Amino acid sequence: MLALRYHRVDVFTDRAFGGNPLAVFPVATALDSRQMQAIAREMNLSETVFVLPPSKQGTAARLRIFTVDRELPLAGHPVVGAAFVLAETGALETHPGRNQIVLELGAGPLPVEIDIKDSKVHSVFMTQKPPKFGAELRDAEALAAALYIPPQSIDLDLMAPRVIDTGIPWFCVPVKDMRALAAVRADRARCDEIARRVGTDLWHAFTLDTGDPDCAVRTRHVWWGRVTPGEDPVTGSAIGCIASYLVGEGVLLAAPEAVVQVEQGHEVGRPGEVTARIAASNGTVQRVQVGGSAVHVGNGELWIQDS
């Protein structure tokens, strides 16, 4: 029997039982892909991350990230949470102040910044890829039917619903206000149909109407296929896309960097906050960083029976 230790952390929050929960398996060399997928289903979280030795020179570790039904090339809270765990447990050598490392992901090498204060991990920031802009969909009637909200709640005056990719493609839908955001529900059949039209089943909605005056944007996970259960509380990869879109369209100004506080998770009782740092030049986004804090809430052991 193989005994595997794991850590439970809440990411994008400074208090336990907020933000986005994550399981981190810091030593996963004995596992194959099938076992990782089975473990992710067992953990039943938005994502579970497995840490492996790096295969590329100049990287500190290799991360494999699984939802309950698929492996992802990149995701925000698994990267932030895994880097937090590795630094907190001494698996990564760090020093006071800002530490720059590179982690290896399916999407490629990913720069990560770990800020150490008073011998503790204060924050972790990941650098996503500059945004690629994909399909637009201005069909408010179809979107409203897919999300169970009135057509006038889709905020086409702000910007077009669009696919943005900073490492993983999210279909980002602007809505008028927090009330509309809270009302969003996904109609499976209609979301599937639109997903085929825009080329991704990863959906996020957002509004500039926020509950915290220090936050510029409020977001909500909408849809990620037919198998993965539940609503992702706080979604770093999607927030990088949305912040890039807002800066790229001139809704939020970067001079030369915009620091955007984003709130998410309130509708599912797990409020969290993400900081997005977006650098732009001549209206073009050049650098995307998202990050925040995390809280270590426990450890455990999972047993794998010999086959």
Give the phi and the psi of residue 125 in degrees, each rounded to 5. -120, 135
Measured distance CA(103)–CA(63) in Å, rounded: 7
Q: With CA atoms as reference, report the closest residue to 235 among 65, 60, 7.
A: 65
Give the phi and the psi of residue 31 in degrees, each rounded to 5. -100, 145
3-state secondary structure of 92: coil
Distance of CA 133 to the CA centre of its chain: 18
Distance of CA 57 to the CA centre of its chain: 26
**Bridge partners of 24?**
7, 49
Measured distance CA(289)–CA(258) in Å, rounded: 10
Measured distance CA(132)–CA(166) in Å, rounded: 7
Measured distance CA(23)–CA(225) in Å, rounded: 21
83 and 124 Cβ atoms separated by less than 8 Å: yes
47 is an active site residue: yes
Q: Which helix (H) or strand (E) holds 62?
A: strand 61-66
Angle at 219 between CA 140 and CA 64, to 5 degrees: 110
Residue 161, preceding peptide bond in cis (omega within 30° of 0) = no
132 and 110 Cβ atoms separated by less than 8 Å: no
Length of the chain counted residue by residue: 307
Q: Which helix (H) or strand (E) holds 88?
A: helix 76-88
Which candidate in 42, 47, 88, 113 is catalytic? 47
Residues assigned a catalytic role: 47
